[in-house]
A and B are shown apart, each in its own frame.
Chain A
Amino acid sequence: MENFTPISALVGGSLIGLSAALLFALNGRLAGISGILAGLMPPARQDATWRVMFVVGLIVGTGVWLAATGRPVVAFDVGWPVIVGGGVLTGIGTRIGAGCTSGHGVCGLARSSPRSLVATVTFVGVGGLTVFIARHVMGV
């Protein structure tokens, strides 16, 4: 557990919660990233602008920290077929399941939604199982 980073995890997580609170208090919207993206899928809706602005902010926010600190390092340990397959599955799954780590795992749990609790337990469990099978059974 030497790679455990509790302080930065608590600070970063609190900022994510603050972001969700800000968007909800002022705009009445939940900061679920897959939901924000789904609203940009065809047929295009009237409220595309704020969704695009949120995504721009997301990228710039991470960029500011990267520029200031040079951290964290981002690397991948899988090949192209897995990158493509994982991306497609992430898109399909979050659209069908109506949420991702932020929509269900943060906003949904904060709203005490039973659907979000079930979804979060499911994708964390399946994610863990997937890593276990890939790393410890198949050894990739």
Chain B
Amino acid sequence: MARNLVALAAGLIFGLGLAISEMVSPLKVKAFLDVAGDWDPSLILVMGSAVVVSFVAFRLILRRPQPVLDLKFDIPTRRDIDGRLVGGAVVFGVGWGLVGLCPGPALSGLVYGNIESFVFVGAMLVGLAIGPRLVTLIGAPPVASATPG
């Protein structure tokens, strides 16, 4: 119960941050990505200040053996750079550049009630669901190479 309320509060603050920083606007994000156009560097300050605050906070938090309301910190442990990581980032980058929405603003922007937002989120959920299956497809040994010649 307490953990769910924390998640709700964290979501609220995050959504407020996306609105105040205007990152919920696809055209604002595209104006950052459009270096050759009328460039808007705001996104650097958004990401930069978010990183600075969480960088300091994470170090203080990790002095504790465990989070306040749970048994352990849920942190990824991998440090290797592989094709999935880079390939996924490339595919995401294309989607982000095309529309100007990443997952957070896509969800929080639903409150505007635009049909575009709902269609984008629906398509994104499909992508999230089929992603692992696509990797299996690509990762599987090609049938053609099994037969010599």
Known contacts A17-B52, A89-B92; decide if A58 and B33 are in contact (CB<8 Å).
no
Contact of B95 among A17, A88, A115 (CB under 8 A): A88
- Chain B residues with Cβ below 8 Å from A54 are 7-8, 10-11, 14
- Chain B residues with Cβ below 8 Å from A61 are 11-19, 108
Q: How large is the interface on A (under 10, 10 to 19, 20 to 34, 35 or more residues)?
A: 35 or more
CA distance A75 to B24 in the complex (A): 10
- Max count, chain B CB within 10 A of own CB: residue among A28, A42, A115: A28
| Those of A102-140 within 8 Å (CB) of chain B | 102, 104-107, 109-115, 118-120, 122-132, 134-136
- Chain B residues with Cβ below 8 Å from A17 are 49-54, 57
Known contacts A93-B88, A132-B34; decide if A19 and B17 are in contact (CB<8 Å).
yes
Contact B76 A58 (CB under 8 A): no
Q: Is B140 an interface residue (CB 8 A)?
A: no
In the complex, per-residue mask of B69-101: 1 if CB is within 8 Å of any chain A CB, else 0: 111111110111100111111111111111111
- Chain B residues with Cβ below 8 Å from A72 are 19, 22, 24-25, 28
Q: Is A3 an interface residue (CB 8 A)?
A: yes
| Those of A52-92 within 8 Å (CB) of chain B | 53-66, 71-78, 80, 82-92
In the complex, per-residue mask of A1-42: 1 if CB is within 8 Å of any chain B CB, else 0: 111111011111111111111111111111101100110011
Contact B91 A97 (CB under 8 A): yes
Contact A95 B123 (CB under 8 A): no
Known contacts A33-B107, A136-B36; decide if A101 and B47 are in contact (CB<8 Å).
yes
- Chain A residues with Cβ below 8 Å from B55 are 109-110, 112
B142–chain A nearest beta-carbon distance, Å: 19
Contact A27 B20 (CB under 8 A): no
Known contacts A1-B40, A28-B67; decide if A98 and B88 are in contact (CB<8 Å).
yes
| Those of B31-59 within 8 Å (CB) of chain A | 31, 33-55, 57-58
Contact B53 A18 (CB under 8 A): yes
Residues of B within 8 A of A (CB): 2-28, 30-31, 33-55, 57-58, 61, 64, 66-76, 78-81, 84-104, 106-112, 114, 116-117, 119-132, 134-135
